[in-house]
Amino acid sequence: MYIKIDHNSGIPISAQMVDQIKYLAVSGALKGNDKIPSVRALASELKLNPTTVARVYRQLEADEIIYTQRGSGTFIAPRRSALTKNEKERRLAGDIRKLVVEAGRMGMDFDDLMLLVCDEIEAIRGSQGKKHKPGKGKREGKVNEHR
Amino acid sequence: MNIVEMDHAVRFFGATPAVTDMCLAVPKGSVFGLLGENGSGKTTSIKMMMGALIPQEGTVRVFGVDPLTLKPEQRARIAYIADDMGLPNWMKLSEGMALHRSYFQQWDQGVADERLERYGLRLNQSFGTLSKGQKRQFLLTLALAQQPDLLILDEPASGLDVSVRRDFLDSLMELANTREVSVLLSSHILTDVERVVDHVSFMKKGACVRQANLEDMKEGIKRLCFSENQDRDVLLQSFSILQEKQVQGGYQVVVEDFAAERMDGLDCHVEHLNLEELFLVFNALSDVGAVR
């Protein structure tokens, strides 16, 4: 699992990790039921405090991005579409408004904003299209870096 | 459970205050950063934890008891490395290690051998021939082989170049990932510490200005940047303000209880604060006496 942490950005490390693992899951770099490293293995790999990684896993579990099976490890949860279309829209409305307001505040052309959003969707679609092979995750994860 | 606790500890040297009112709690299993400028009382606090100095007021507890009453076998569970520590220059590393090993029943020679090999240290070298970085690496080797439950490091990275520092701190993380250990380290190099600590205590003039979980702190404390004047009363209804500043073409406030859902109607840009910036905020706070 390729994760890049910026230690001096001021963004909580756990928030950076949650974002990136969600991205890997949504983009298809990590597929449903893929096994992910244990808390300690990931903490050792990233040279992080295990309590920080445990916090990330708790958050991801609450968000239903991962699930843990006692004795066998932690896995990416298969994507669910249990939410109704209305509910999904309701949950996203706030974030979308914030994005539009922020763009407006900076005086950005809304057409340009649309293009940016489309680019981001294309990037995720592009990586979803690729068949994920073990060991390839590292390269695919890097899609994240340009953000 | 807290491994180390200080409750309003006070220590003067003659008429000079070193620690004026220190409270601290190091949770079990945490990597705790004791941070402050030179002269803020970090080393004096650590010496009180080690039982090398007795607090004149207040209490200090290590493993739940007064450090002066720790039994030898409890004391052997603490490893301590200070900035100015060392072995006699003539002493061979093999002799230094044998001496050290004799004090600790839990000594793990496998850990020591693995470290020596990694650092490229040879047992027939004498301590005086080592570079500053190698000396620190040898002391860390001894401390880790001791299999401590509490590792106290006073300015472990000062005077070392960046790759040695990074390696030193990475070793700490490896340790934290292999066995349950609590680490307390003091430092004034905040960018280093930011990589490894989960709890921090900011010290200033002998007292703790703020202690918290670093991730919680980064989540809660944000700088809001307004491009025009903002009604302060409206802001105060939603947030508790730590610092405010009029800047050219705007107004900036640092709030300590940020929550995205309370940002409705506020037209501003949110900035994250890293450890160094957090430190500066609390350092400035204590100047005006608004502690905590």
Rounded mean pLDDT, A85-89: 83
Same domain membership, residue A71 and residue A11: yes
Instruction: Identify whether A147 is part of a domain.
Output: no
- Nearest residue on chain B to A11, alpha-carbon basis: B272
* A42 lies in the same domain as A105: no
Which residue in chain B has the smallest CA separation from A16? B215
Question: What per-residue confidence (pLDDT) applies to A101?
Answer: 85
DSSP B177: H
Residue of B28, B151, B177 to mutate for A, most A C-beta atoms under 10 A: B177
Do the bridges between strand A73-76 and strand A66-69 make them parallel or antiparallel, or are there none, so unpaired?
antiparallel
Helices B93-101/B132-145 angle, 10° precision? 30
Is B59 contained in some domain? yes
On whether both A70 and A97 belong to a single domain, the answer is no
Residue A146 within any structural domain of the chain: no
Q: Which residue has the tokens 């047992």?
A: B123
In chain A, what residues touch B274 (CB-CB under 8 Å)?
Answer: 7-10
**Number of structural domains in chain A:** 2
Residues B13 and B152 occupy one common structural domain: yes
Does residue B284 belong to any structural domain of this protein? no
B228, amino acid identity = E
Q: Count structural domains, chain B.
A: 2
User: Per the CB < 8 Å rule, is A12 touching B218?
Assistant: yes
Contact B141, B115 (CB under 8 A): yes
Q: Are residues B56 and B124 in the same domain?
A: yes
Q: Are A113 and A102 in contact (CB under 8 A)?
A: no
Nearest CA in chain B to A14: B215
What dihedral do alpha carbons B205, B207, B210, B214 form, nearest 10°? 90
User: Is residue B155 one of the residues assigned to a domain?
Assistant: yes
B194 with A8: Cβ contact below 8 A: yes
> Is residue B33 in some structural domain?
yes
A65, A128: one domain? no
- Give the domain-ending residue among A80, A97, A122: A80
Q: Are residues A34 and A56 in the same domain?
A: yes
Q: Are B102 and B32 in the same domain?
A: yes
Residue B25 and residue B156 in one domain = yes
Which of A80, A99, A132 is the last residue in one of the domains?
A80
Interface list for chain B against chain A, based on CB atoms closer than 8 Å: 29-31, 169-170, 173-174, 176-178, 191, 194-198, 215, 218-219, 227, 263, 267, 269, 271-277
Q: Which domain holds residue B229?
A: 222-272
Q: Does any domain span residue B291?
A: no
Residues A1 and A71 in one domain: yes
Same domain as B105, residue B33: yes
- Which uninterrupted H or E stretch holds A89? helix A85-105
Same domain, B107 and B45: yes
pLDDT band at A82 (very low <50, low <70, confident <90, very high): low
We report the CATH number of the domain holding residue A72 as: 1.10.10.10
Interface test with B, best of A4, A13, A44, A49 (most B CBs within 10 A): A49
Which DSSP helix (H) or strand (E) runs through A17? Answer: helix A13-27
Pair B191, B125 in one domain: yes
Sheet holding A35-36, edge to edge: A35-36, A73-76, A66-69
More confident residue, A142 or A31: A31
Query: Are residues B40 and B148 located together in one domain of the fold?
Result: yes
- Shared domain for B234 and B195, answered yes or no, is no
**Domain end residue (candidates: B165, B180, B211):** B211
Q: Is residue A107 scored above 60 in pLDDT?
A: yes
Answer yes or no: is A92 within a domain: yes
Nearest CA among B67, B75, B64, B29 for reference residue B49:
B67
Q: Which of A38, A53, A80 is the last residue of a domain?
A: A80
Same domain as A56, residue A9: yes
- Where does a domain end: B211, B241, B263? B211
- Best residue in B175, B199, B215, B273 for a mutation probing chain A (most A CBs within 10 Å): B215
Q: Is residue A90 part of a domain?
A: yes
Q: Please report residues of B whose CB lies closer than 8 A to that of A50.
A: 176-177
B80 lies in the same domain as B198: yes
DSSP state of B4: E
Does residue B170 contact residue A47 with C-beta atoms inside 8 Å? yes
Q: Nearest CB to B170: which of A7, A40, A47?
A: A47
Alpha helices in chain B (DSSP H): 42-49, 72-75, 93-101, 109-119, 132-145, 162-178, 190-196, 214-220, 232-238, 275-287
Percent of chain A with pLDDT over 70: 85
Q: B223, B201, B224: which is closest to B277 by C-alpha? A: B223
Count of Cβ atoms closer than 10 Å to residue B272 Cβ: 17
Residue B104 maps to which CATH number? 3.40.50.300
What's residue A141's pLDDT? 41
Q: Are residues A59 and A15 in the same domain?
A: yes
* CA–CA separation, B281 and B242 (whole Å): 8
Whether B198 and A105 lie within 8 Å, measured CB to CB: no
Beta partners for residue B32, in sequence order: B184, B199
Tokens for B74?
């409890």
Comparing B91 with A89, which gets the higher pLDDT? B91
ipTM for the predicted complex comes to 0.75
- The confidence score (pLDDT) of residue B84 equals 80
Show residues of chain A in contact with B191, CB under 8 Å. 7-8
Contact A75, A36 (CB under 8 A): yes
Question: For position A130, what pLDDT does the model report?
Answer: 59
So what's the pLDDT on residue A136?
Answer: 40
Distance in angstroms (rounded) separating the CA atoms of residues B177 and A44: 6
Same domain, B179 and B260: no
CA contacts within 13 A on the Cβ side of A101: 13
Token readout for A8 is: 């001096």
Q: Say whether both B7 and B45 belong to one domain.
A: yes
Cβ distance A7 to B273 less than 8 Å, yes or no, reads no
pLDDT in tens, chain B (292 residues): 899 999 999 999 999 999 999 999 999 989 999 999 888 999 999 999 999 999 999 999 999 999 999 998 899 999 999 878 889 999 999 999 999 999 998 899 999 999 999 889 999 999 999 998 889 889 989 999 999 999 999 988 777 888 888 888 888 888 888 888 999 999 888 888 888 899 999 999 999 999 999 999 999 999 998 887 777 788 888 888 898 888 887 889 999 999 887 887 777 888 999 999 999 998 888 665 444 4
- Residue B126 to residue B130: CA distance in whole angstroms: 7
H/E element holding A126?
A: helix A110-129
| Domain encompassing residue A101 | 82-140
Residue A48: DSSP 8-state:
-
State whether A49 and B197 contact (CB < 8 Å): yes
A20 inside domain? yes
Last-in-domain residue among B211, B231, B249: B211
Whether residues A68 and A2 fall in one domain: yes
Contact (CB, 8 A) for A145 and A6: no
